[in-house]
């Protein structure tokens, strides 16, 4: 799809280093018609307001490759306040990285002000007034390890290009002149299917460790390879991911596993040891029993990919239930003592795993609660006698619990049979269902909550930090 055009751009000696390669109309496959009307209007209105404005990032990258963009992002030299003034239905969001969400009909367009480098010139001088210091802290702040805690220093388009993550993400498109501006020499990389971080890889990952996740997400989604230095630096910086605020990681994890290439992403995350940082308990279970647990997660992610690609709904609760199941199974072994009911042991293990995981990734309570219900249903689904099967079918999480059961059977954790029974039960009419229930033998450990008393003996100490409820 992409034309072989990079040799048009052999930079001539006179070209200034910060001048872009330009693809004029006819040299690329983009056209204003392929841009959403909302994004076009935003660019138009900014331009009419006397500002520079371009389509930028993934939308230009995807259109150059003949793919359908997920969303449309706009970059401008207008400050967030100026953008907000221009658009009635807009709001400034974010503190670390301030942007403006502009509403255009059903669309929300992200408008980003050109960013510049954070250098000594930009930093607050000693002796500056307190107010100046505070306002500067909102613009530029770094942690001791080099992470940018505030990234709001504004600049010009060429500076902005060098602040973006990968060369393939630094194309700027202007619908008026139908030209693509390539400031970071991204064209040859797209042609060679390479993900190359802009600037010094280690430094750029230190500034924002989420860039490591983004590199792997794009590699999985586009089928690209990581350029050598871009890949190698991850081996030095992967642990920094633990410093990212858990709420931001929650959003990033969903992007990683909900774009239709979850299985490929999972393999890359394991290869670069990022999975160990994100899901330490599951990673430990995987190294203990790579056979079954690996098969289980791979199957869960394969199913997720199939669902997403056929536009079916996937709930984060199910995804996390699967990703954390190996950790729950391992933790159950620590908690189980003779006499405790399986339900009690599962609840203890589930609580422990959830609390610990939420310290790293802030899974909102609206997902951890159904996730735990899916786990608990695994012990309830075998109990079908009397009215139990009918009642279970009315449970809000029945379908997810049943799918989870099928997954466990499919990957050999438990014997097949129960899943098929439930499949038939759902398909059967009322009379047949009654017949099926009559034939059911209650499982031996079904007496509810037998021996549920707490024991004060040597149980592992549950972690104390509360589960997050940020999104509640
Ligand atoms: P997609 O939307 O298809 O997932 P994208 O590349 O558009 O991919 P967005 O998260 O929408 O990703 O970001 C838009 C653009 O903003 C990116 O293409 C990139 O230029 C820039 N960007 C996003 N996140 C970062 C980051 N952490 N560091 C540097 N630049 C970034
Ligand atoms: Mg995007």
Pairing of strands 53-56, 171-174: antiparallel
Task: Please state which of the ranges 265-279, 324-338, 440-454 shows the lowest mean pLDDT.
Answer: 440-454
Q: Decide: 149 and 82 in contact? Cβ < 8 Å.
A: no
- Does ligand 1 come within 6 angstroms of the Cβ of 189? no
Say what the pLDDT of residue 267 is: 98
Closest listed residue to residue 43, CA positions, set 153, 150, 179, 226: 179
Catalytic residue among 151, 158, 160, 165: 165
> Residue 444's pLDDT band (boundaries 50, 70, 90)?
low
CATH number attached to the domain at 2-242:
3.30.460.10
Looking at per-residue pLDDT, the higher value among 461 and 254 belongs to 254
E-strand stretches of 98-244: 99-104, 107-113, 140-142, 148-151, 171-174, 179-182, 194-195, 225-226
Task: For residues 216-244, give the mean pLDDT.
Answer: 97
472 is catalytic: no
**For residue 29, what pLDDT band results from cuts at 50, 70 and 90?**
confident
Helix intervals (H) in 32-71: 37-48, 58-64
Q: How far is the CA of 72 from the centre of ligand 2 (A)?
A: 6
Question: Residue ranges per domain, the chain?
Answer: 2-242
Residue nearest to atom 21 of ligand 1 (CA): 164
pLDDT at 123: 44
Lowest-confidence pick of 428-432, 457-461, 467-471: 467-471
Q: Provide the pLDDT confidence category of residue 340 given band limits of 50, 70 and 90.
A: confident
Residue nearest to atom 9 of ligand 1 (CA): 58
Taking alpha carbons only, the member of 361, 360, 364, 294 closest to residue 326 is 294
Q: Which atom of ligand 1 is nearest to the CA of 59?
A: 7
* pLDDT reported for residue 17: 52
- Distance in angstroms (rounded) separating the CA atoms of residues 275 and 282: 9
- Region 278-283: mean pLDDT is 98
Q: Is the beta carbon of 164 within 6 A of some atom in ligand 1?
A: yes
* Range 62-66 average pLDDT: 93
**How many angstroms does the Cα of residue 253 sit away from the middle of ligand 2?**
16
Cα(392) to ligand 2 centroid in Å equals 42
Is the per-residue pLDDT at 13 higher than 70?
no
**Residue of 30, 350, 297, 378 whose CA lies nearest to 181:** 30
Encode pLDDT of 175-227 as tens digits.
Answer: 999 999 999 999 999 999 999 999 999 999 999 999 999 999 999 999 999 99
pLDDT at position 127 over 80: no
The reply to whether ligand 1 has any atom less than 6 angstroms from the CB of 209 is: no
In this prediction, residues 30-41 reach a mean pLDDT of: 92
Ligand 2 centre from 109 Cα, in Å?
10
Question: Please, what is the average pLDDT of the chain?
Answer: 88
The 10s digit of each residue's pLDDT in 372-413 is 999 999 999 999 999 999 999 999 999 999 999 999 999 999
């Amino acid at each position: 799809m992409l034309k072989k055009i990079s040799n048009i751009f052999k930079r001539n000696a006179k070209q200034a280093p910060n001048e872009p390669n330009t693809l004029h109309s006819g040299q690329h496959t983009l056209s204003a018609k392929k841009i959403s009307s909302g994004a076009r209007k935003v660019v138009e209105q900014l331009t009419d307001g006397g500002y520079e404005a371009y389509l930028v990032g993934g939308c230009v990258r995807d259109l150059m490759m003949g793919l359908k963009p997920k969303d449309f992002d706009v970059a401008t030299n207008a400050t967030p306040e100026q953008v907000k003034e221009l658009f009635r239905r807009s709001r400034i969001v974010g503190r670390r990285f301030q942007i403006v969400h502009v509403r255009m009909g059903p669309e929300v367009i992200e408008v980003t002000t050109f960013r510049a480098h954070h250098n000594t010139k930009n930093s607050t001088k000693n002796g500056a007034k307190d107010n100046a210091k505070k306002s500067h802290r909102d613009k530029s702040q770094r942690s001791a390890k080099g992470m940018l805690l505030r990234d709001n220093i504004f600049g010009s388009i060429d500076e902005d290009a060098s602040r973006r993550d990968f060369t393939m993400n630094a194309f700027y498109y202007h619908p008026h002149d139908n030209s693509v501006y390539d400031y970071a020499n991204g064209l040859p990389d797209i042609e060679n299917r390479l993900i190359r971080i802009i600037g010094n890889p280690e430094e750029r990952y230190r500034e924002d460790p989420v860039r490591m996740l983004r590199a792997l997400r794009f590699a999985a989604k586009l089928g690209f390879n990581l350029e050598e230095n871009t890949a190698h630096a991850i081996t030095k910086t992967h642990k920094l991911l633990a410093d990212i605020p858990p709420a931001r990681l929650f959003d990033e994890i969903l992007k990683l596993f909900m774009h239709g290439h979850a299985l490929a992403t999972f393999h890359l995350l394991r290869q670069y040891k990022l999975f160990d940082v994100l899901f330490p308990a599951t990673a430990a279970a995987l190294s203990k029993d790579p056979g079954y647990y690996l098969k289980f997660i791979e199957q869960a992610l394969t199913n997720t990919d199939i669902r997403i690609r056929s536009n079916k709904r996937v709930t984060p609760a199910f995804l996390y239930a699967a990703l954390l199941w190996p950790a729950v199974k391992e933790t159950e072994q620590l908690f189980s003592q003779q006499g405790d009911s399986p339900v009690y042991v599962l609840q203890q293990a589930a609580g422990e795993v959830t609390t610990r995981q939420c310290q790293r990734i802030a899974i909102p309570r609206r997902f951890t609660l159904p996730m735990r219900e899916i786990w608990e249903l695994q012990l309830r689904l075998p109990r079908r006698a009397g009215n139990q099967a009918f009642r279970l079918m009315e449970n809000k999480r029945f379908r997810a619990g049943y799918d989870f059961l099928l997954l466990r059977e499919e990957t050999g954790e438990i014997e097949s049979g129960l899943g098929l029974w439930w499949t038939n039960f759902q398909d059967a009419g009322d009379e047949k269902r009654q017949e099926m229930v009559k034939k059911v033998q209650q499982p031996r450990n079904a007496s509810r909550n037998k021996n549920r008393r707490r024991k004060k003996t040597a149980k592992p100490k549950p972690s104390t930090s509360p589960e997050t409820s940020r999104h509640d």
